[in-house]
Copies of this chain bind each other. A is one copy, B any other.
Amino acid sequence: MPEGNAADEAVHRLLHPRSIAILGASDNPIKLSGRPLDLLKRFDYAGRILPINARRAEVQGLPAHRSLDDVDGEIDLAMVMVSAEQVVEGVRACAKRGIPAAIVAAAGFAESGERGQVLQQQLAEVIAETGIRVLGPNCLGMLGVRERALPSFTSALDEDVRLLDGPVAFVSQSGAFGTFIFSEAQRSGIGISHFLNTGNEVDLSVAEVLGGLVESEQTGVLLAYLEGVSDGRRLLDVARRAGELDKPLLTVKVGRSEAGARAAASHTASLAGADAVFDGACRQFGLIRRNGTEPLLDAAQLFATGRRTRGRRMTTLSLSGGAGVLMADEASRHGLTVQPWDERWQQRMAAVIPDFGSPRNPVDLTATLISEPDMLRRALEVTVEHPDTDIVVVMLGNADKGSEQLIDAIDRAHRSTDRPLVVVWTGGSGRPRELLRERGIPCYTDPGRAADALAALAEHSLRPPLPRPVRPQDTDERVARAVLQEARDAGRTQLDEHESSRLIAAYGIACAGALPASDAAAAAAAAVELGGPVAVKLLSTEIGHKSDIGGVRLGLRAEEEVRTATEDLLRIARDAGDPSARVLVQRMSSGDAELIAGIKHDPAFGPVVVVGFGGVLVDVLADSQVGIAPLDIASARRLLLSLRGAPLFEGVRGKPPLDVDAAAEVLARLSWLAADLGAEIAELDVNPLLVSDSGAVAVDCLAVLADG
C-alpha cells in the first residue's frame, strides 16, 4: 500500500476522475455490468468514458477497447464490473496499466463464505504488491454528483430524479441503506457532491475516503454511515482535520445496543467496536453522532447552509402561541435557550404585531398573520437586528395559498443576516417547504427535529479548537517499563497492588503512601514510618478480589492493631493457597468523591481511558466516560464534567468544591501511560481515586499485562 502523497493522489483521482475505464462493460444498460456506462452517459459525464470489452467494438453506442492496453493516455479510475473470480486478474491489469484507483463492484468476497475469503485475500495481496487503491469489493461504487462521475451500478437513479449538487459528501459502509439515505437526502433538497459506498473495505475504509473528501473544496459537510470501525485512529485524524477546516463530520454508527452489536458482528466482516468508546471518541474529537437517518439529514440540511451560530439564544416567531411554546420546550430540551427580550426590544416588536400578540419571545404574531403576511417581514426585520438573538426560528403551518409572501419575507430576512434562520412548517402540501429549501433555507415539520439540528450546529460552532495533548512533566516510561519487565521476568501478567502503584507513580500520579511488609513486625514498623492511621491490605498476585475475602483492614491506629491485622491477612492468604503473600501498609486517605479510572485497549481505537464514579454510585448511576489516549487536560476535564454524578464535584451540602483539575490531571497522566505502554497493558484500574478539595490520590490500583 503506498503511503503519503501517492496514496492521497490516488484517492483524489478516485474522487475527481478525468477518465473512467469500465472493465467488462455490457452493451445492455439494464444489466448490472451495463449500468455504470448508462449512468455516465445519461448524466453527461464530461470526462473520457472508456468501455473495455474484448468481444465488442462498440458498447452502448461508444467505441469499446479490447483491453486496457489498447487505450491511449492516462486513466484515472477503473470501474471493475467483472465477476468475483475474474476480479484479481482485472485489478492486476489495472495496476499494470498504471491506473491509480479501482472500484470493485462484485459481491462474493469475504461476506460470503470460504471461497470468497480466499478471493478477498488474493485481492489484498495484489493491492499490497502493486500499490493500486481499491474501493470495495461488494460495493455500489461512487456517485460524483458535481462532476457527474457516476461509476456505480445503483438503481437509485433509475427513477425520475434530478441530481442535486451541493456541499455535502457522504460515505457509507452499506450499499443498500446508504443509497436509501442518499435518495432521502436528495428528496429533502440536500445537495450532495459525492456519495461513496466502501463495501468490504479490502483497502479503502470510510475514514480514508473521508480523508480525501475533507481536503476537497467541493466539500463543506461530511456524512459517514458506519457499521463497524476497523481503523479508529485514522477516523480521528480525519475528524481532527475536519475540525481544523471547520467542516462538520456527522455520523450514524449502528450497533449501539447489545442487540445491534450482536447483529452487526453477524452481518459484516468488521467487528463493531465497543460503542461507548466510539461515543467517547465522538465527543472528544467533535464528530457529531446522530441516531437515525432523519436526525442525520436534519442536521446536514442545516450545516449545508455553511452558517455557524455565535450562541444558543433562540428567538421564535409564530402565528400560534402554542407552537412557539412547543418550540421553546424543545429548544430547552436540546440545550438552547429562549429568553424574553428586554423591554426596549419588546416595544420595538410590539409596534409591528397585534395588541393581543406577544412581543416577549417566543413572539406570537397571532393568526392575524394569515390575512396580513407582511407582518412577518416587519417582525423579522426587528428580529435580525436584535443583538441577543443568535438563532431565528419561524413557525408556520398549512397556508399553501398565500405562502409566497411569507416565503419572500423569510427569504429576505435570511439574506439580510448571517445567523442561522430555520423554518418549522407543519401541515399543508409540503410545497412551501420545498420552496424554502430551494432558497437554501432549512425547513422542518416538527419543532423537535429543528431543535435537534440546531443543537448540533451550536455544539459544532461553539466547540473550542481541539488541542494537541501535551506530555505532562515527570512521566518516566523507562521506570514504568522496568516494572512491567519485572513481572514478565517472574512469569506473571498480573501485577500486585504495590507494583501497579509504582507503575502509575512512574507517570506522576499521586498514590497513597504505602510500604509492603512480609510479617507483622515489618508491618508495624511500616505503620510507624508512614505515620497516622493506616490500612493493611493483602498483597498477592494469586488472590483476585481481596475485599471479597476480607483482605482489607482500614483505619488502624495502634501498633497492636496493625500486627493483628497483618497476621490475620497472612493466615487468610495461606488458607487461600498463597503462602508467599505479603501485606501492603498504606496511609489512610480521605476524599469526598470516589472515582474509578482505568485503561483499556479497544480493538478499533487502541488505548483509551475510562472514568466513572465509584462506591455506591456505581450501581446507581451506572455511567462512565471514555477518552482516547493521549488526552489533553481540557478534554479530561470535560470528560469528568460530563459524568452524571458531576454535580458532586461542585461540593454538596455545604462542602467546598472538589479538585476537578487534579482528577483531570490524573486522567491525562493515565492516558499517556496508556499511549506509551497501551499495547503491553491489557487492563489497569485505579479504584478508588479519591478526590478531595485539594487533590486526587490513587488509593488502590491493579494492572494486568497483555499476553505475550
For A330-342 the 0/1 string (1 means CB < 8 A from B) is: 1111000111100
**Nearest chain-B residue to A336 (Cβ)?**
B259
Is the CB–CB distance between B426 and A180 below 8 Å?
yes
In the assembly, what is the distance between CA of A360 and CA of B262, in Å? 10
**Residues of A423-467 whose CB lies within 8 A of B:** 426-430, 445-449
A159-B429, A325-B267, A398-B156 given; A620·B621 CB < 8 A: yes
Is the CB–CB distance between B324 and A267 below 8 Å?
yes
A3 shortest CB reach to chain B, Å: 30
For A89-116 the 0/1 string (1 means CB < 8 A from B) is: 0000000000000000001000111000
Is the CB–CB distance between A176 and B319 below 8 Å?
yes
Chain B hits for A173, CB < 8 A: 322
* A525 in the interface (beta carbon within 8 A): no
In the assembly, what is the distance between CA of A337 and CA of B621, in Å? 23
In the assembly, what is the distance between CA of A294 and CA of B292, in Å? 15
For A174-200 the 0/1 string (1 means CB < 8 A from B) is: 111101111110010000000000000
Is the CB–CB distance between A227 and B321 below 8 Å?
yes
**One of A122-130, A472-480, A645-653, A681-689 contacting the partner:** A645-653
Chain B hits for A516, CB < 8 A: none
Option from B112, B183, B320, B397 in Cβ contact (under 8 Å) with A428: B183
A650 shortest CB reach to chain B, Å: 8
A275 shortest CB reach to chain B, Å: 9
Is the CB–CB distance between A360 and B263 below 8 Å?
yes
Is the CB–CB distance between B292 and A328 below 8 Å?
no
**Nearest chain-B residue to A32 (Cβ)?**
B371
In the assembly, what is the distance between CA of A474 and CA of B69, in Å? 99
* A400 in the interface (beta carbon within 8 A): yes
Is the CB–CB distance between A447 and B262 below 8 Å?
no
* A564 in the interface (beta carbon within 8 A): no
For A299-335 the 0/1 string (1 means CB < 8 A from B) is: 0000000000000000000011111111011111100
In the assembly, what is the distance between CA of A319 and CA of B447, in Å? 32
In the assembly, what is the distance between CA of A653 and CA of B615, in Å? 9
**Nearest chain-B residue to A316 (Cβ)?**
B263
Is the CB–CB distance between B183 and A321 below 8 Å?
no
A580 shortest CB reach to chain B, Å: 29
Option from B294, B325, B445 in Cβ contact (under 8 Å) with A293: B445
Chain B hits for A329, CB < 8 A: 254-257, 259-260, 291
Is the CB–CB distance between B111 and A260 below 8 Å?
no
Is the CB–CB distance between A320 and B445 below 8 Å?
no
**Residues of A138-187 whose CB lies within 8 A of B:** 155-156, 158-159, 173-177, 179-184, 187
**How many copies, total?**
2
Q: Count A interface residues, CB 8 Å.
A: 97
**Nearest chain-B residue to A430 (Cβ)?**
B187
**Nearest chain-B residue to A186 (Cβ)?**
B427
**One of A209-217, A362-370, A486-494 contacting the partner:** A362-370
* A355 in the interface (beta carbon within 8 A): yes
In the assembly, what is the distance between CA of A322 and CA of B328, in Å? 35
* A295 in the interface (beta carbon within 8 A): yes
Chain B hits for A677, CB < 8 A: none
Chain B hits for A267, CB < 8 A: 321-322, 324-325, 358, 362, 364
**Residues of A576-611 whose CB lies within 8 A of B:** none
Chain B hits for A426, CB < 8 A: 177, 180-181, 183-184, 293
For A380-420 the 0/1 string (1 means CB < 8 A from B) is: 00000000000000000111110000000000000000000
Is the CB–CB distance between B446 and A292 below 8 Å?
yes
Is the CB–CB distance between B446 and A293 below 8 Å?
yes
**Nearest chain-B residue to A613 (Cβ)?**
B620
Chain B hits for A258, CB < 8 A: 332
Is the CB–CB distance between A333 and B256 below 8 Å?
yes
Chain B hits for A121, CB < 8 A: none
In the assembly, what is the distance between CA of A175 and CA of B320, in Å? 8
Chain B hits for A18, CB < 8 A: none
Option from B182, B225, B337, B644 in Cβ contact (under 8 Å) with A322: B225
Is the CB–CB distance between A322 and B174 below 8 Å?
yes
Chain B hits for A252, CB < 8 A: 326
Is the CB–CB distance between A653 and B616 below 8 Å?
yes
A682 shortest CB reach to chain B, Å: 26
* A617 in the interface (beta carbon within 8 A): yes
A607 shortest CB reach to chain B, Å: 26
Chain B hits for A293, CB < 8 A: 326, 426, 445-447
Is the CB–CB distance between B427 and A182 below 8 Å?
yes
**Nearest chain-B residue to A399 (Cβ)?**
B155
Chosen A-B contacts, 20 in total, with CB atoms closer than 8 Å, are A107-B356, A159-B429, A173-B322, A174-B321, A179-B397, A183-B428, A187-B429, A227-B325, A257-B332, A260-B326, A260-B332, A263-B321, A263-B358, A266-B358, A267-B358, A292-B446, A295-B446, A295-B448, A619-B648, A619-B650
Chain A residues with a Cβ under 8 A of chain B: 107, 111-113, 155-156, 158-159, 173-177, 179-184, 187, 225, 227, 252, 254-264, 266-268, 291-295, 319-326, 328-333, 337-340, 355-356, 358, 360-362, 364, 367, 370, 397-401, 426-430, 445-449, 616-617, 619-622, 644-645, 647-648, 650, 652-653
Given A187-B430, A263-B324, A266-B358: 9 more A-B contacts, CB < 8 Å = A176-B367, A177-B326, A181-B426, A257-B329, A259-B329, A267-B358, A292-B447, A294-B448, A616-B653
Q: Which 5 residue pairs across A and B have the least CB separation, nearest first?
A: A180-B397, A257-B332, A267-B321, A183-B427, A176-B320
